[in-house]
């Protein structure tokens, strides 16, 4: 379980990534200290981690990467497989930021306007029936202020059109008391709509479109459809776990590790793909949470964002587009939205923001933008300081205890997440 390693020279194994990084700065003792700290957190019996992959960037350069635990747990029936810096995870809602980057490339191409009525992009009229005179825009979707809600579901089988779900739609799909732009409520459904609009604007299936717009140009073996991952990446895909007695969403630290996602080899494509109609419903590919990518791959994305939208001398996004993405759109003031007990205090376009202020920060001294993820036992963090070009990536493949019962000291995060982020920041970024 306590297999940790730090790779500084291993970039030669992935030629597409090699030119991006310089050798990690800092002393070996600091790196070894971080290895020990993260290994201890991962092995803590109070909340053991199935796997942990972590990466830190300081001043735009790789400062640390490490991996601990097991990407595949055999439970005595098969061999365990260790996590590595190249292990891919289903990164949950950090996927929303990646989807946003793809969308903004289409905004640059003139396919979308952020403040236009999305009805024209969907091919049907989308309205909150309680506020029929107010349009819903991409900006509303990207900032979780659309007045759409997840209570009636946000993922639908292939062959189901979103039009049939949303018009007229279940009452639980729409807020009654707040119209578009009035109130922040985190909404996964918005990203299903965004992915569907992207398909309709381009005529390309969402998973392949994101490969063209973002993942391919960055040289990443990653994707929203694990069935189309290349063999090497597929072999390194992490299974997500919870430790439980029975197959429910109730944790039991005395039970076995039970697989929650990506446990079938080889993975099948989304069910019903033979009936898939491009531009009607992209939710089978989960634009909201379905990207499989490694910590190292997320580091490449982060470095591109730090470098003003440029990767290996090739422009991916315009600098002005990044300013639009990360400009503050919403800040909680106690009467304008649901912070989900402090998880969401500020928002840009498709990204959470973590000002270095009490109750809002991830780590003291770290003024960050990015996204968090939580699904199928996984917890993820993608956050970076644009000004100082410091960043942290954390991917946890499952926990033995319910993170919700192990609150952190200074934030809405779980205590193990605070400990990981604080250790990484102190050892690899601030040292």
Residue finishing a domain among 238, 255, 290:
290
Q: How far is CA 367 from CA 134, 172, 271, in A?
A: 35, 36, 41
- Whether 102 shows a pLDDT value over 80: the answer reads yes
CB 91 within 8 A of CB 380: yes
Q: What is d(CA 411, CA 359) in angstroms, rounded to the nearest whole number?
A: 6
Helices and strands per DSSP (H, E), number in the chain:
11, 17
- Give the pLDDT of residue 28: 61
Give the mean pLDDT of 9-22: 34
- Whether 141 shows a pLDDT value over 80: the answer reads yes
Give the mean pLDDT of 93-122: 98
The pTM score is 0.94
Q: Which residue do the tokens 């297999």 mark? A: 3
Q: What is d(CA 168, CA 299) in angstroms, rounded to the nearest whole number?
A: 42
Give the mean pLDDT of 93-112: 98
Give the mean pLDDT of 117-131: 97
Give the mean pLDDT of 146-159: 97
Indicate if 377 and 388 belong to the same structural domain.
yes
Give the mean pLDDT of 389-417: 96
Residue finishing a domain among 260, 290, 320:
290
- Give the pLDDT of residue 9: 28
Indicate if 313 and 169 belong to the same structural domain.
no
Grade residue 207 by pLDDT with cuts at 50, 70 and 90. Answer: very high
- Whether 24 shows a pLDDT value over 70: the answer reads no
Q: What is d(CA 109, CA 229) in angstroms, rounded to the nearest whole number?
A: 27
- Whether 8 shows a pLDDT value over 70: the answer reads no
Closest to 181 (Cα-Cα) out of 148, 151, 147, 150: 147
Q: What is d(CA 426, CA 411) in angstroms, rounded to the nearest whole number?
A: 17
Select the more confidently predicted residue: 23 or 148. 148
- Whether 2 shows a pLDDT value over 60: the answer reads no
Select the more confidently predicted residue: 168 or 22. 168
Give the mean pLDDT of 406-427: 97
Q: What is d(CA 381, CA 385) in angstroms, rounded to the nearest whole number?
A: 13
How many angstroms separate the most distant Cα atoms in the chain?
62
- Give the pLDDT of residue 25: 46
Give the mean pLDDT of 24-30: 57
- Whether 233 shows a pLDDT value over 80: the answer reads yes
State the DSSP string of 319-331: HHHHHHHHS--EE
- Whether 4 shows a pLDDT value over 80: the answer reads no
Which helix (H) or strand (E) element contains residue 29? Answer: helix 28-43
Indicate if 59 and 121 belong to the same structural domain.
no
- Give the pLDDT of residue 240: 97
Indicate if 248 and 372 belong to the same structural domain.
yes
- Whether 5 shows a pLDDT value over 80: the answer reads no
What percent of the chain stands above pLDDT 70? 93
Indicate if 155 and 73 belong to the same structural domain.
no
- Whether 23 shows a pLDDT value over 90: the answer reads no
Indicate if 64 and 98 belong to the same structural domain.
no
- Whether 323 shows a pLDDT value over 70: the answer reads yes
Q: How far is CA 21 from CA 30, 140, 161, in A?
A: 19, 36, 43
Give the mean pLDDT of 169-190: 97
- Give the pLDDT of residue 248: 76
Helix residue ranges per DSSP H, 135-261: 138-142, 162-166, 189-202, 206-210, 231-235
Of 235-249, 269-283, 339-353, the one with minimum mean pLDDT is 235-249
State the DSSP string of 88-151: EEE-TTHHHHHHHHHHHHHHHTTS--TTSBTHHHHTS----TTSTTS--BHHHHHTT-SSB-ST
- Give the pLDDT of residue 249: 76
Signed CA dihedral, 211, 212, 218, 219: sign only: positive
Task: Render pLDDT for 62-82 as a digit per residue (tens, 0 to 9).
Answer: 999 999 999 999 988 899 999
Indicate if 194 and 209 belong to the same structural domain.
yes
Q: What is d(CA 384, CA 390) in angstroms, rounded to the nearest whole number?
A: 6
Indicate if 332 and 407 belong to the same structural domain.
yes
Indicate if 263 and 411 belong to the same structural domain.
yes
Beta strands in 168-234, from DSSP E residues, in sequence order: none
Indicate if 255 and 207 belong to the same structural domain.
no
Indicate if 329 and 296 belong to the same structural domain.
yes
Provide the phi-psi class of 126: left if phi over 0, else alpha when psi is between -120 and 50, else beta.
beta
**Dihedrals φ, ψ of 93, to 5°?**
-70, -10
> How many CB atoms are closer than 10 A to CB 280?
19
Q: Which residue do the tokens 């989807």 mark? A: 99
Q: What is the DSSP letter of 82?
A: E
- Whether 17 shows a pLDDT value over 90: the answer reads no
- Give the pLDDT of residue 378: 98
Task: Render pLDDT for 246-304 as a digit per residue (tens, 0 to 9).
Answer: 777 788 999 999 999 999 988 999 999 988 999 999 999 999 999 999 999 999 999 99
Q: What is d(CA 138, CA 355) in angstroms, rounded to the nearest whole number?
A: 24
Please, which residues have CB within 8 angstroms of residue 335's CB and are 6 or more apart in sequence? none
Q: What is d(CA 177, CA 179) in angstroms, rounded to the nearest whole number?
A: 7
Q: What is d(CA 148, CA 142) in angstroms, rounded to the nearest whole number?
A: 12
Give the mean pLDDT of 117-145: 98
Beta strands in 262-336, from DSSP E residues, in sequence order: 292-294, 310-311, 314-315, 330-331
Q: What is the CATH number of the domain that holds 396?
A: 3.40.710.10
- Give the pLDDT of residue 250: 83
- Give the pLDDT of residue 20: 38
Bridge-based pairing of strands 398-399 and 61-72 is unpaired
- Whether 6 shows a pLDDT value over 90: the answer reads no
Indicate if 105 and 62 belong to the same structural domain.
no
* Number of domains the chain contains: 2
Residue finishing a domain among 256, 290, 324:
290
Cis peptide before 91 (omega within 30 of 0): no
Instruction: Residue 425: give the domain boundaries.
Output: 5-91+230-268+291-429
What rounded mean pLDDT belongs to the chain?
92
Closest to 386 (Cα-Cα) out of 363, 370, 364: 370
**Dihedrals φ, ψ of 28, to 5°?**
-65, -35
- Give the pLDDT of residue 216: 98
- Whether 130 shows a pLDDT value over 80: the answer reads yes
Grade residue 431 by pLDDT with cuts at 50, 70 and 90. Answer: confident
């Amino acid at each position: 379980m306590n297999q940790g390693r730090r790779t500084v020279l291993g970039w030669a194994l992935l030629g597409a990534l090699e030119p991006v990084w310089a050798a990690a700065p800092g002393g070996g003792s600091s790196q070894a200290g971080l290895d020990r700290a993260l290994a201890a957190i991962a092995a803590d019996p109070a909340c053991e981690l199935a796997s942990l992959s972590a990466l830190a960037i300081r001043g735009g350069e790789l400062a640390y990467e490490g991996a601990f635990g097991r990407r595949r747990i055999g439970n005595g029936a098969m061999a365990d497989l260790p996590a590595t810096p190249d292990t891919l995870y289903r990164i949950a809602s950090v996927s929303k930021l990646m989807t946003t980057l793809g969308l903004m490339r289409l905004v640059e191409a003139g396919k979308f306007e952020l403040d236009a009525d999305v009805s024209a992009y969907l091919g049907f009229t989308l309205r909150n029936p309680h506020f029929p005179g107010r349009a819903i825009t991409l900006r509303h979707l990207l900032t979780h202020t659309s007045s759409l809600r997840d209570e009636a579901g946000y993922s639908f089988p292939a062959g189901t059109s979103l039009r049939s779900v949303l018009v007229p739609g279940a009452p639980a799909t729409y807020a009654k008391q707040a119209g578009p732009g009035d109130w922040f409520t985190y909404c996964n459904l918005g990203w299903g709509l965004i992915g569907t609009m992207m398909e309709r604007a381009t005529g390309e299936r969402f998973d392949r479109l994101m490969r063209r717009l973002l993942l391919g140009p960055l040289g990443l073996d990653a994707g929203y459809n694990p069935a189309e991952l290349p063999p090497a990446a597929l072999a390194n895909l992490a299974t997500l776990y919870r430790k439980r007695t029975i197959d429910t969403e109730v944790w039991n630290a005395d039970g076995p590790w039970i697989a929650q996602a990506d446990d079938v080899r080889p993975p099948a494509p989304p069910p019903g793909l033979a009936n898939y109609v491009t531009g009607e419903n992209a939710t089978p590919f989960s634009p909201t949470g379905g990207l499989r990518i490694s910590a190292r791959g997320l580091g490449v994305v982060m470095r591109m964002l730090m470098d003003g939208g440029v990767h290996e001398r090739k422009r991916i996004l315009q600098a002005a587009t990044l300013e639009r993405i990360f400009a503050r759109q919403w800040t909680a003031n106690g009467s304008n939205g649901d912070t989900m007990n402090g998880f969401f205090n500020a928002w840009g376009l498709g990204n959470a923001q973590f000002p270095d202020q009490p109750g809002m920060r991830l780590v003291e001294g770290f003024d960050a933008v990015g996204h968090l993820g939580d699904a199928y036992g996984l917890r993820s963090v993608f956050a970076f300081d644009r000004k100082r070009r410091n960043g942290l990536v954390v991917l946890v493949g499952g926990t033995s205890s319910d993170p919700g019962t192990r609150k952190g000291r200074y934030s809405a995060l779980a205590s193990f997440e605070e400990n990981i982020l604080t250790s990484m920041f102190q050892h690899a970024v601030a040292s």
